[in-house]
Amino acid sequence: MKEQNMVRGGIYGIIAGLVSTIVLDIASLIIFAVMGQSLASFFALIGRSFLTFIGVEAADPVWQGVTLHYSIGILTGLVLGLATQRFQKLRFISYGKGILLGIIIAQIEGNALFYLMSLILTIPPSEMLPIYGLGFVLHLIWGTCLGWIICYGQHMNCEGKL
């Protein structure tokens, strides 16, 4: 039974990470379009950060950014899905707890990665402020989806509770 729960947690974690990242990107696409910017430029920034960190140059690092972005989202979902099954204290007893934990994880991870990006690319804090604000809103959406989907996967613990 415990192995079955771990498998379920892992599967729903992967699904949650992927779906939540897609939802985040759809919201990002809309916000960037309203701001007159492209989502590709943000993916290029992510890709450039990673490539600079490992000491590699690329003319157009958009695909590296997309790959890293989705890898982080899926791995975060997998780890959270497995952790909620492995540790009783993390188990989602309600959708509210699931969403809250998802948001906390998303905000910590997002802010840490944005900070690393600013250090790697030596972006001044004044230029990073709008990115932090936008990141807060987008990771709020991402964490909400992540926590809700993982909680849904644990439906025997969350059924009917909000």
What single string gives the DSSP state of each residue in 22-48? HHHHHHHHHHHHHHT--HHHHHHHHHH
What are the two backbone dihedrals, phi and then psi, of residue 80, each rounded to the nearest 5 degrees? -65, -40
Catalogue the long-range contacts made by 116-120 (C-beta closer than 8 Å, 24 or more residues apart).
116/49, 117/45, 117/46, 117/49, 120/49, 120/52, 120/53
- Confidence (pLDDT) at 156: 52
Total domains in the chain come to 1
Spatial distance between the Cα atoms of 20 and 69, rounded to a whole number of angstroms: 12
* pLDDT per residue as tens, the chain (162 positions): 567 778 888 888 999 999 999 999 999 999 999 989 888 988 998 999 999 998 888 888 999 999 999 999 999 999 998 988 888 777 777 788 889 989 999 999 999 999 999 999 898 888 888 888 888 999 999 999 999 998 888 765 444 444
- Confidence (pLDDT) at 96: 86
Structural domain harbouring 143: 2-158
Predicted model pTM:
0.86
Cβ atoms within 10 Å of 74's Cβ, excluding its own: 19
In this structure, are residues 17 and 78 in contact, taking their beta carbons and an 8 Å threshold? yes
Helix ranges restricted to H, 36-161: 39-54, 62-86, 95-120, 125-153, 155-158
Q: Is the dihedral angle over the CA atoms 89, 138, 25, 40 positive or is it negative?
A: negative
Spatial distance between the Cα atoms of 30 and 39, rounded to a whole number of angstroms: 9
Taking CA atoms, 30 is separated from 6, 64, 81, 110, 159, in Å, by 36, 22, 28, 19, 33
- Confidence (pLDDT) at 125: 81
- Confidence (pLDDT) at 88: 74
